[in-house]
Structure formats: C-alpha cells, structure tokens
Amino acid sequence: MKTAITKMFGIQHPIIQGGMHYVGFAEMAAAVSNAGGLGIITALTQKTPGDLANEIARCKDMTDKPIGVNVTFLPTVNAPDYPAIIKAIIDGGVSVVETAGNNPVAVLPYLKDAGIKVIHKCTAVRHALKAQSIGCDAVSVDGFECGGHPGEDDIPNMILLPRAADELEIPFVSSGGMADGRSLVASLAMGAAGMNMGTRFIATKEAPVHDNVKAAIVAASELDTRLVMRSLRNTERVMTNAAVERLLDKEKALGDDLKFEDIIEEVAGVYPKIMMHGEMDAGAWSCGMVAGLIDDIPTCRELIDRIMAQAEDIIDRMNAMR
C-alpha cells in the first residue's frame, strides 16, 4: 500500500509506532521497522544525549530500515539538553523525528538542513495548522481516545480526522484508537495517509516491557482507562489501577486547589517501576481506550502483516459493493 506517508518516510506500510516513555527502546523500534512500519525511539527515556546516541546506534545494528526518534518538548524550567539531543539524532543518521509537546520551531532548521523529516503530534486542528505553517512535513492527529495526553478539547477521531483533512495541505496520520485493519481503512477514508499506534504496540512480543504490562492491556476493556490531571489542564489518559483511583479521589477532594505536588507520588518517576518491573499499582501509566480491542500478544511482524491483510480484504469487499 502506497500513501503520502510511505513515500515520505520510505517505509513499506503506512503504520507508525508512537514514541512511548520506557517503551520506545531500540528493540521496539527495530522490530516495527523490520516489519515494514516506522519504529520510533523515545529520546527522553534515555538519561543523557550520549545514551540516546548509543541507543540509536544499537537500533541501527538491528535494522537497515528507516527509524525515527520522538522528542517531546516539555514546559519545564529544568529542560533537557535539547541541542545535544538534536545533535545525537542528526549524527546518528535518523531519517524521521516525531516531535510532541511545545512548538518545535527552534529545532526545525537543524533537522531540515540534515534532511530529516518532521512529524508533529497534535490534538487539535489549530495545532496541526500551526505545525504546517512552521514547516513540519506531516502531523500525527491524536483523537480523544488516545493514551497519554489527548489535549483539552475532547474531540474524537470520527470528527477530528475529517476536520484535519478539510484544513491541512500536508499529510497526516491518525492516532488514538488504532489497532487493526479496520482502523487503517477508516483512517484512510477520513483523509489520513496512515496511522500511528501506541498501546497496540506495547502488547507485542518484542515490546521491552514487563509481561504484567502486556497482560494488563489484554485483560482490559474499553472501560478501563481514566482521565487524570484534568484540573491541572495536563489531562492524561491512563490505565486504571489502585494508584490512579487514589489520584482521582485526591482530585475530587481538592478540586481547583489541586497542585501537582499533591499527586506526585502517583505520577512522578513511576514508569521504570511499571514498565520494567511490572509493579502495576505503582502509579499512573498512559494507555488508550483501544485496549478494549487488544486480545493477543503477537510479534510486530505478525501484527503488521495481519493489519495489512485485513485492510486489503476490507478494501476489496468495499470495491465489490459498487
């Protein structure tokens, strides 16, 4: 299947693995890229730019296919060393960067000069238009269903994707609620040129996370995620667990008086405990509603091949209806 995204990124299938904290390691990215998609290393999971450089090199030893790196620009006083991160990406020969969070305009000239394509994650059409105006090559349009940060507009993909198609001139992919061939065909029908999957890729054999995490996703239904930190305007969709329910109780009790410090135990520094050690009640971790569509743990190749076969079958069936 050829789309604007497969052509732009030099990949076989229009499927991107989203950048995920303590998931986007070399093993994950290489497995997705080797299966014909675009694998993504998560820059801020690495402790230093030097560690990121090593992770990129390690991934390059595992695949000769295109890979990407996610760089999330955080609104923080003690910001990561972004110039060194960008240098590690350029020196490492990465072909795609997925940016997220704050406006990436400051780093675009360096990435563009190095011939790197940039896809920016957006949760609103106005943000996607801004990304287009500053020179991003593509955008990932994240609907309200997505795991992680869905923004504050609460617009699901059945509305958000057609709106993006109406407004954008650059290619975009769908993100949030994506799991199978039905997701891909629906995304294409609404104007996207591919899809980005996060939660679905965690439940794969190659995902470098604890088996407890994969089992939790398979066991979950579409009702098992929660929205936290809404009153802080930093909304995050997470898998429910004891820590998350405790966090929500604090939010309800404190209301508008809630401060980040009140929930720091539930949200700060919990990812290594959960993703690496399988301590499932250690805190809040990002997970999409799409968990309700996930009931197995295939290899990345099995997953992507199945998605593409299902998509082709759906397209053939729809063509036969004419």
Tens of pLDDT, residue by residue over 71-116, are 999 877 688 999 999 999 999 999 999 999 999 999 999 999 999 9
pLDDT by residue (tens digit) across 138-187? 999 999 999 999 999 999 999 999 999 999 999 999 999 999 999 999 99
Contacts of 269 (CB under 8 A, 6+ apart): none
Sheet holding 96-101, edge to edge: 15-17, 195-197, 172-175, 138-142, 117-122, 96-101, 67-73, 39-42
What are residue 236's phi and psi, to 5 degrees? -135, 135
Q: Is the pTM of this model over 0.75?
A: yes
CA distances to 70, 78, 257 from 108, in Å = 14, 21, 38
DSSP state of 14: S
CA angle 266, 294, 317 (to 5 degrees): 145
pLDDT by residue (tens digit) across 195-254? 999 999 999 999 999 999 999 999 999 999 999 999 999 999 999 999 999 999 999 999
CA distances to 20, 47, 59, 93 from 275, in Å = 11, 16, 20, 28
CA 163 to chain centre: 20
